Structure formats: structure tokens, C-alpha cells
Structure 1
Amino acid sequence: LIMRNFKLAYPDSERIDTGIKTRARGQWSSKVEFILAVAGQIIGLGNVWRFPYLCYKNGGGVFFIPYVVFLFACGIPLFLMETALGQYTSQGSVTCWRKICPLFEGLGYGSQVVVFYSSTYYIIILAWAFFYLFSSFSGELPWASCRNWWNTENCVEFDRIGGTRNLSFMENASSPVKEFWERRVLNITGSVNELGSLRWELALCLLLAWIICYFCVWKGVKSTGKVVYFTATFPYAMLLVLLIRGLTLPGAIDGITFYLYPNPARLTDPQVWMDAGTQIFYSYALCIGCLTALGSYNKYNNNCYKDCVYLCLLNSGTSFVAGFAIFSVLGFMAFEQGVDISMVAESGPGLAFIAYPRAVAMMPLSQLWSICFFLMIILLGLDSEFVGLESLMTAITDMHSNFFLQGHRRKLFLLLICVACFLIGLLMVTEGGLYIFQLFDYYSCSGMTLLLFALAQSICIGWFYGADRLYENIVDMIGYRPLTLMKYCWKYITPIVCIRLRVLCTPASDLPLTSERRKETL
């Protein structure tokens, strides 16, 4: 199993057969398709709703210090490792490990289980976003006032500066945007034991999301490579529009100051370093096999090293710029309400479906900015979703290529997976579905899972297959020697960092699943 001089060298007949299979499974039509597909996968919702909040929470500008440390110690080395393995073997995440080191083939199976679970729950966010997008096409945003049938007597509209009422002094008061989210969109029940009835409007939005994903992937990289020209680039146009709009709002400078103001004392807090490390794993789609699958469709001599460095810089740069777009708007909202920005800053779904919609409701032409924002959310989530689905299909078809590459079998099997995931997802669009969603989010793709995968991959490459051997494989593909630090990261630095992060990641308390704690779980 530990192959000292292993190289994927085939006899002439096997080379011919491998070449035929490579053409049958497909390749990217151009390098641009690969770049956009990977960018679409790694640049997602976490760049918009998680990274900026972590900066604000963990010391502003000083958060970039641990972030950059983990980027170069784990992010780029693992990113290059996975992409290079796919390109070198021309195989998905399961058969790739089977060729490299059969002892670690289970890593491929485990990563695809994570992808399946993630694909099942991640698309629920798109269903919510579609609901908000369709609701934005109205004379008045439905979450802007308390004059709707779902509002309660406790609903209080936020007055602009100079108003006579202040929500902070009213007990049991709730905002119209929160009531829209909890009572109109979710109609949420009191606990996970009360699933309630199906929210048919959300179910239709979920069906729409799955139909789009299916047709983005149904022809493999032939269709995926074309779709990403739009889905991976248009969010940048929306982000630019929202950034320009945000920077022109009153209070924007205060929001950006809160986002970046450095607090060096926070560097002594282990939580800051843990947040930086887990953010790298989340935002770079590491250890789930997607990068291996996408790299497997490259030509053998593609410069994967340069691609990986540029993509990593693009990903981190997008996160940084997104912080300006988000916190300029949050600064405006704090200015309008006359409160500290800490009262309005949120992360995750709480930012996308409560904080930001509340802010756009205060702007002139609020419907336009709402449409722009939720279009961006949908496209950011959509390409991450269908590229993950492509990774899953690649892994399965490579294991049984003689069967799935004939006729329409691949398309039918893809349809079966989409239908199965849709049916499971219906549980998450019931009235108690948010609790099921939180369970999937908390356990299926946790930081602990990714850390264990990263540690196992590093040990496999560094000590079984050989860091020097993979390094020479990359030299053989790109024609020159990458930074020597990479092979030392694979063998020593990355495993040590993963072990250290594992020590810092103390077991969290059970996820709260009662209605009284909904605000915290969002």
C-alpha cells in the first residue's frame, strides 16, 4: 500500500483506454471554465455573511493576522493538494484515493457523504432567498411595516431619527422584519417535536432551486462549464452595486470602522484563532472532494499551482470587500435607529433574512436594492450547490464508469439524486423545518469533521504516498518547481496546525431547539 516509487504509468493499451475514458467523462473546454467553476464553489454565502462578522467579532483588522497564518499553513497547501490530485489522476474524490493509496479510500467515501448532506440542506437557503426575491416585487416590501395579516399586536415599526418611539424601551416588542421571517416565511413552531404542516410556498421555491441545479449539471462539465460564466460573475456585479450604494449612505463610515478597527488584545484569545482556522476550511471548500473533482477535468499540463494561488487570493479578497458592502449598510441602519452597531450586527441567516432586509427597507427604492441583494444571495448559493452536486456525480460515475457513461444513465441517476434530496429537504420546509436545518448545519459539515479529514489527508500524502512524490508529480504537470514550503506543509505544518485546532475546538453544548432560543440559533 505504501508505494515507494508510485507513478500513474500505464502500459500502452491502458493508456489508450484511459484516454478514451477521459474523453468520455469530459474535460473543461477552457481554463476559464475551470477557474469560474472553482470560484463559484468556494466563493459563496460564507464570504458575505460569515467572514465580515468574524472580523468585527474578533478584533477587526487584527483578525487578518491569524487568518493569513492559517491561509498559508493550511488553506493554500490543502487547496493545491486536492486540485493537483484530481488533475494528476483524472479521477473523482473516491477513485483518486484508490489510485494514490487504497488504504485511505475511505476519505473519498466520507467526503461524499458530507457533500450529500450539505447539498440536501444548503439548498434550503436558496428556497428562502427565492421567497424573499419574489416578495420584493411588491408596492411595499412586506417586511417594512406592521400592516400585514401575519403581524401581531407586539409588532413595532422602527422610526427614523426624530421619531417618538424607541423599540429598545418596549418589552416584548418585535420588528416587522422578524415577524415576516418567523410568521410569514417559516411560521415556525415551538420545538423540533412539532414539525407542523408543509409550507407549500417554500416547497415550490425548493423545487425551483432543484430544477435549476439539475439542468446546470445534467450534461456534466459541458453544461456546468457554461453556466458558471453567469453564476460566478454576476454576483460580483451585484456586490459592486451594493458596495457603491452602501458607501454613499449616512453612517457607512461608522460601520466600516467597526468592521476594521483593530483590537490587538484579541490575539490572545484562542477563540479568535479557532474562528480564523475554521473559516479557512469553510470558505475554501477543503476536504470535501469538490476541488479534486473539478481538477480532474483539467488537462494534464494545466498550471494548477498558479490557478490555486490566484483563486485563494480571489476568495479572500472577495470576503474582505464583502465586509465593506455589509457593514456600510449595517452602519446606516444603526445610524437611522440611533443605536450602537453591535445591536444590529449579525451573521449567517440572521444577516441575510433579518438584518439586511431591515436595512434595505429604510432606503429609497427599497425594492430595487432588495432584488439586487437576494439575486446575489441566490447566485452565490446556486453555484456552490450545483458544483457540489457535480462533485458527487463525478465520484459515483468514476467508480462505475462503464455503466454510467453509456446512454442517459448518468442523467437518470442525477435525477434520482435530485428527487431524493428534494424529498428529504421537504422536512426542512415544514413549520418546524428550521430545527431540522440547524441539525444538518451543525453536524453534517462541522469544523470538527473538516479538521479530521484535513489531518487524515495530510498524513496520507505526507507520510504514506510521500510529500516529495506529490511535489514531483506537480513539477511533472506544470514544468517548474513550486514553492518548496508546500511539501513541508503537507508533511509537518498542516497536520500540526490541524491537531492544535482540534485541541482548541472544545465540544460545544447541544444546539438549542426551542422557540425561546431562536434568535441565538440564527
Structure 2
Amino acid sequence: MSINSVAPPPRDKWSSWADFIMSCIGYAIGLGNVWRFPYLCYQNGGGAFLIPYVISLIFCGAPLFILETSWGQLVSVGGLGMFKICPIFKGVGIAAAVMAFWLNIYYIVVLSWAMAYLVNSIRADDNVPWRNCNNTWNTKHCRSEYDPILCESNRTIAEYFNVKVLTDDHLHEYKKQFFIGPKSNFLFGVKWTGKIVYLTASFPYIMLVCLLIRGLTLPGASLGLEFYLKPDFSKLLHSKVWVDAVTQVFFSYGLGLGALVALGSYNKYHNNVYKQAMTVCCVNSGTSVFAGFVIFSFIGYMAVQQGKTVAEVAQSGPGLVFLAYPSGILRLPFAQVWSILFFSMILSLGIDSQFCTMEGFFTAIIDEFPEILRRRKYGREIFVLVICLISYLLGLSTVTEGGFYVFQLFDFYAASGWALLWLLFFECIAVSWCVGIDRWYEHMKSMIGYYPAAWWKFWYL
């Protein structure tokens, strides 16, 4: 099917190229930059891990990022409409929309936990609730973080997360707010949402700088940074290191979910998407490395204070955000302030990623049925509200007593691992073989006024 035969329906456009860049930065820079990359770097050879990471970025991450944003700009449709260029691969677009829908529920859970920590950190007594065992939700086996004989499951922070947060009656209220609040912005189109990301995308950097300044002044910070950066080149001989690097690039760049296609589809035709995509790639990877300095400066401090090694303290995923870091700030002056700053940053990172992920989902479905959802009065608004309701009802399973296990199922299977790798593989096949790289180069020249570097052709073959 010819590209020229794809007639995009009337749609909004970004007010400026800066709206597009900030939206892409807000989407790509998320929780994976803060809680996954630093741990992978430490676990897979420290500074040596940057070698497979950069190679994966050059060969996989950047080419696919450019591909998705440029095709969105070219055809001015979402993820489903993009595959009208090769109808046999339309299932790839459907799979991307399904993954985006599941990932939305996953992000809401994390945001609800962070909100629970943030709300409970705002107290009149200038303290944090996981400092001692005097709370109503503590068990009789609770032990203070300062107790030299400490069982991991009985630590105050472990009981706070497992007993208080995961069973909090208000957790479903936080979920409701995140389902309704951020998604209500979709009712006003990209001209409105493009301005919101200026705040939500820049706020995490302010928090990261504040936390880095404080972290570098703590005793033991140099120990944590040494473990973070000290290269162990022998690790590069293990295939797991290279798999982790590729997986991290795919995860942190948000590839394959249709969100980048949707964000690119709101660009003007002659926007220089090639240059802007390269800028976002550099900012995203730079942020991952920068976040590692922040996290491991605190982890080094925690190791010294607790008399443990960095390996014993370092954790990945929710354990880092909701157990390790809250435990570390207990020994800081003004622990309440640092808790509020940290979880405000986590909320901002998660809201941006969740927001743009659902933008990809909504755009894909609305562009697939424009007569009903775009041109009909209140069609878009009703659709957004219905999806909010369905997502909220499905998400209630994550706030039950066994909700953490449901969350882990989303974490492992919703939009990661082999499912995402196969989706990206078929996406490359659809564009590279069905459309052709030479044809793509001609379209790029038509949009940006010049051909991209010739060596990009090799990466798409």
C-alpha cells in the first residue's frame, strides 16, 4: 500500500518543536533510569557496562527511536495506522496498543505507592513513619533500623511497605486520582498537554541535582561511586551483560509501544525530527548515568552507616525506591524533607511516562476509528472516560492483599522481555523490508531537507 494513499484525519499539532522534545524526554526518562540502570551498571562490571550499553544504544536504541518518531511524523497517524503501509503486520500495532494498555496499570501501581510514601511523609512532627515501631500497623516482631540484630522482614521500613502501604485502604483512592487526573488532560488535546510536560519533565532534574549535592557530601559516598563506576572488563565475556544492556535500552527508551509514533504524529511535516530524536537519545542516556551518581552516593552512605557492603545494600526496582532509599534517609538530618523531595521526583518521573504511554494508546485507537472517536461530538471524551473506568477496575486487583503478586505479573510480562523484543523485531521487518530503507531515506529528505547519515542504513537491515 502506498504511503501517499494513507490520508490522515484532521488532527492537532504541537505548538512548537520544543513541545515535542519535552514530551519525548518526559516519556523516555522514567523509573528505569533511576531504579534499573544504576543497579545494572554496578552488577555488570561498573564502568565496563557502558561499553555494551553504548553499543546497544547505537545499533538498537537510537535507530529505532528515530524510526518510530519519523514514521509518526510522516504518516501523521498513531501506532495502528502506521502499519497501513504494510497491512500484514498490523498485528504488531495491535500488540503495541495492548502492551501500552497493560503498562498503564503497572505505572499507576508504582505512582500509588509513591503517593502513599509522600502523603505519609508530610507530618507535623517532622519525622517519617518508618523510623520506629510505635505505629498501629507494626507487628510485635518489628525491629528498629537501628537495632544491631535485625531480620530483613521485620525492619520498620519492610513492615511499612508490606503492612502499611500494600494494605492501605487509601491506595485505591490514589489510583483513582492517577487514572482520572492525568488522563483528563487528554480531553484538551496535545496543545494543552504539550505545555504540562515542561513542568513534569524538568522537575525531576531539579530534584536529582538537589539529591546529588546532598549525596556527595555524605560519608561513604565515594565508596558507592567506586562500586558504581569501577570497571570489571571480565564481565563483558558473559552474554547476560549484553542482554541486560539491550533490554535496558529498549525499556528506558519506551520503544515498541506506539507512544513515540503518536508523539511524532503531532509534528508538522517539515519538522527536523532526525535532529530532535538524536537530542532526546543523548539526554536520556546521560540522565541514566547521572542518576547513577545520585543513587550510589546514597547507597555508599547507607553501607557505611549500616556496616554492610555496597553489594548487600544495592537493590533494583521497587526494592531500591521503596525499601533501600527510605531506610537510608533515616540517618539524615531533616529526613522528612529528603523523603518529600525524593518521592516527588518519583511521582514526576512516573506521571510523564504513564501519560505519554497512554497518549500512544489513545492516538492509535482514535486514528483507527476517526469517524466515531474524532469527528463525532464528544467521541474522544467518552472514549477516554470509558478507558479510565476500565483501567481503574482492572487495576483494583493490584491493591488487594495479593496485589503485589499481580503487580509482578505486569512487571514481568506486560511490556518487557521476549514479548517486547519480538514486537520490535517485526516492526523493523515491516519498515525495512516491506517499505524499504531507500524509500525511507527519500521521505526523510522530503521532511527535513537532507539525507540522514548513510551508515544508518546498515542498522535497519
Q: TM-score range by the shorter chain?
A: over 0.9
- Structure 1 segments of 4+ aligned residues over 4 angstroms from their partners: 170-173
**How far does residue 9 in structure 1 lie from its aligned partner after superposition?**
6.1
8 Å Cα contact 1:256-1:328 kept in structure 2: yes
Within the candidate set 428, 434, 443, 1:473 is matched to 443
Residue 192 of structure 2 aligns with which residue?
Answer: 223
Moved more, 216-225 or 407-416: 216-225
Aligned AA (2:119):
F
Stretch moving more, 111-120 or 203-212: 203-212
Question: What corresponds to 1:166 in structure 2?
Answer: 148
The reply on whether 1:95 has 2:81 as its aligned counterpart is yes
Which residue number corresponds to residue 18 of structure 2? 32
Q: How does 1:208-357 map to 2 (within 5 A)?
A: 208-357=177-326
Tell me the SS of whatever aligns to 2:79: coil
- Selected match of 1:78 from 31, 41, 64: 64
1:382 maps to which residue?
A: 351
Q: Which amino acid aligns with 1:408?
A: Y
Name the CA shift for 1:420/1:172 in 2 (closer, same or farther; >3 Å).
closer
* Alpha-carbon separation, structure 2, partners of 1:7 and 1:42: 28
Aligned to 1:200, the other structure's residue is in SS state: coil
Q: Which has the higher mean CA deviation after the structures are superposed, 101-110 or 61-70?
A: 101-110
Structure 2: how far apart are the matches of 1:220 and 1:137?
Answer: 34
Aligned length: 458
Opposite residue 66 of structure 2, the aligned amino acid is L
Using the size of structure 2 for normalisation, the TM-score is 0.97
AA partner of residue 153 (structure 1): K
Residue 81 of structure 1 and its aligned partner are, at CA, apart by 0.7
Q: Distance in 1 between matches of 2:460 and 2:283?
A: 22
Cα distance 1:394–1:173, how it changes in 2: closer, same or farther (>3 A)?
closer
Amino acid at match of 1:8: N
Matched, 1:489 2:429: no
- Give yes or no for contact 1:216–1:386 (8 Å, CA) kept in 2: no
Identity of aligned residues (%): 46
Aligned-pair distance for 1:175? Answer: 1.2
Moved more, 317-326 or 224-233: 224-233
Q: Out of 141, 148, 157, which is 2:128 matched to?
A: 141
> 1:150 Cα deviation (Å)?
2.0
Structure-2 change in CA distance of 1:425 and 1:171 (3 Å): closer
CA distance in 2, matches of 1:378, 1:172: 26
Partner of 1:429: 399
Whole-angstrom distance in 2 between the partners of 1:319 and 1:171: 32
Q: Say what the alpha-carbon RMSD is for the aligned residues.
A: 1.4
Residues in 1 aligned to 2:297 and 2:104: alpha-carbon distance in whole angstroms: 31
Q: Secondary structure of the residue that 2:99 maps to in structure 1?
A: helix
CA contact (8 A) 2:3 2:75 kept: no
CA shift in 2, pair 1:60/1:172, >3 Å: closer
For structure 1, the residue ranges without an aligned partner over 5 or more in a row are 160-164, 188-198, 492-522
Shift of 1:115: 0.4
Residue type at the aligned position of 2:247: T
The alignment status of 1:392 with 2:361, answered yes or no, reads yes
Give the CA deviation at 1:158. 2.9
CA distance in 1, matches of 2:432, 2:140: 62
Q: 1:417 aligns with which of 387, 392, 396?
A: 387
> Do structure 1's residue 59 and structure 2's residue 55 form an aligned pair?
no
Cα distance in 2, alignment partners of residues 203 and 110 from structure 1: 28
8 Å CA contact 1:217–1:389 kept in 2: the answer is: no
**Aligned residues of 2:27 and 2:356 also touching (Cα < 8 A):** yes
The letter of the residue matching 2:359 is: E
| Alpha-carbon shift at residue 174 of structure 1 (Å) | 2.3
Counterpart pick for 1:451 among 421, 424, 429: 421
Shift of 1:8: 1.6
Q: Is the Cα–Cα contact under 8 Å of residues 154 and 172 in structure 1 kept in the other structure? A: no
Tell me the CA shift for residue 7 of structure 1: 4.2
Tell me by how many angstroms 1:444 deviates: 1.2
Q: Which residue does 1:153 correspond to in 2?
A: 140
**Runs of 5+ unmatched residues, structure 2:** none
Q: Is the Cα contact below 8 Å between 1:334 and 1:344 reproduced in 2?
A: yes
Distance 1:72 1:437, change over 3 A: same
Shift of 1:171: 5.7
